[in-house]
Structure 1
Amino acid sequence: MLNIDSIENGYVIDHIPAGVGMKIYNHLSLNKLDCQVAIITNAKSKKNEVKDIIKINSLIDLDFDIIAFLAPNATVNVIKDSKRVEKRKLILPLEIKNVVKCANPHCICNNENIDHIFKLTDTNGTYRCIYCETIAL
């Protein structure tokens, strides 16, 4: 049987598309924390067939923009004293920096030591490189 302790103070990132949980874990550098972090992959879901869930047993500074970019429909539950005190719906950030690399091998950001920056260009969640307009994959 799977047994994961409840969260006293921290976060539960829910409704992550299956397979995206590890990307979020890596981009947020959760491996560097000294608190408990649980990643549940392929959990059964009522909305989708399966989902990923991340539980963090500490109220750390989270980069909600990274979570929103990688999992736009995810929710972040804030837990205090073992009770959910807030359920955050995420909003797509207007800009992301160094989360993905530009797919255009001729783009300046791939040939110079500069940041990979993408801007949100429409309401469908399309991000384009600010240097060459290539769509973020």
Structure 2
Amino acid sequence: MTDVKIPRAPRGLGTRGKALWRDVHREFDMTRDPHRLVLLEDACRTADLIDRLQEAVDSQDLRVRGSQGQPVAAPELSEIRQHRGTLAALLAKLALPDTEEMQELKQKHVTEVRRQAAFKSVEARNGR
């Protein structure tokens, strides 16, 4: 979108959440979709939470001591995996159309896949 006024990011968003808010609004006009705004805000907050969990993981060992003194995975590892899934689901629920750049990348990928499939088909026919 060109010349779109990006709404002010919701209070409390961190760096990654604000960046996601800005990037989505730069590409898509959501002023007539309040339900999408709610989903986007949740996605932004989830992105910030993932960053906080990643910082915790980065600052400690991946294993901690369990209740019996045994090594166990740090609980943040499970949480970060779950929140990444939540973020992916929220972004999918936004049901945003592909940007021109994404359409171009997908077309290139499809073309390459078809080229490889045709090559394999020729090889199979020629007994290679």
Measured against the shorter chain, the TM-score band is: under 0.3
TM (norm. structure 1) is 0.23
Higher normalized strand content (fraction of residues): 1
